[in-house]
Structure 1
Amino acid sequence: MTVQSKPTCRLVRPDSSYYGKQGFSYLAGIAAETVGSSGICMHLLTIPPGGRAKAHMHESHETAIYVLSGETHTWYGDNLEHHVVVKAGDLFYIPAGVPHLPANLSDKPASAVIARTDPNEQESVVLLPHLDALVR
């Protein structure tokens, strides 16, 4: 007979990072890989001045972002036809399957907490290189 261990709380101190398909370096946080989560991941991201992601979408998970400092520009939609500026203190939601491209156009870093409904954060990332040239 196999005894299943009971899930327990876990403390994560983000002291390591990983490079995401989107083109940014993330501080590792809550994920299936770090704590065994089954329905959520949460990471910290700092976009350097002039930093820009690759156009992408998260095929099967939603994203919620809370900007801690700075501001970012995000283009979104099937052809990145929509634009929003997300500033410190703002919350921003991206539904599953929506193409988007965030960028930091300022001369200061922008930091955010990012939570997604997929515990394996990179699993449903789909790069959309045909959209990259639409944002200059």
Structure 2
Amino acid sequence: MAECKIIRGGAGFHGKQGLDYFSGISAESAGSKAICMHLLEMPPGAAAEPHYHEAHETAIYVLEGSAEMLHGPELEHVMRVEAGDYLYIPAGVPHQPYNPTEKPVRAVIARTDPNEQESVVLVKELSSKAYRPSAQ
């Protein structure tokens, strides 16, 4: 029989996307089979690398602050999320979240991939279209 587990917050890891995540539920930490969930803190000016999650959906709940995200095949769309917003990202959609504000952003992220980083695919060819803090 499977066990219920508590994963204590605190420890974290630096993701392929270029952001820091606090450890949460994953195959690595809890033995989950179909989900992972983490806390993300984005400092002012932080930006992920353009990427997508291969065959896995993402759901995000913004706890505090506001951020923007470029998304689409050419990162041609932009959206702004604020505290209290939910954000859904379909599998395979290139995106790049960033924090253009002077306040940190905190969000809970859940994906239908139990492995923390396995389905992350960096999209280097979109780097020229990405948000870069120094260019803004």
Bucket of the pairwise TM-score, normalised by the shorter protein:
over 0.9
Aligned length: 131
What is residue 73 of structure 2 aligned with on the other side? 78
1:57 paired with 2:52, answer yes
1:131 to 88, 105, 126: 126
**CA deviation string 1:29-80 (max 9, x = no partner):** 0000001000000000000000000000001100000000001100000000
What is residue 27 of structure 1 aligned with on the other side? 22
Segments ≥4 residues shifted beyond 4 Å: none
Q: Secondary structure at the match of 1:50?
A: coil
What is residue 134 of structure 2 aligned with on the other side? none
Give me the TM-score of the superposition, normalised by structure 1: 0.94
1:102 paired with 2:97, answer yes
Q: In the TM superposition, what is the alpha-carbon distance from 1:15 to its structure 2 partner?
A: 1.6
CA RMSD of aligned residues (A): 0.7
Whole-angstrom CA distance in 2 between matches of 1:115 and 1:18 = 16
**CA deviation string 1:69-126 (max 9, x = no partner):** 0011000000001110010000000000000000000000000000000000211110
Whole-angstrom CA distance in 1 between matches of 2:130 and 2:28 = 33
Q: In the TM superposition, what is the alpha-carbon distance from 1:135 to its structure 2 partner?
A: 2.9
Give % identity. 55
C-alpha contact 2:28 2:116 (8 A) present in aligned 1 = no
Give me the TM-score of the superposition, normalised by structure 2: 0.94
Consecutive unaligned residues of structure 1, counting only runs of 5 or more, are: 1-5
Consecutive unaligned residues of structure 2, counting only runs of 5 or more, are: 132-136
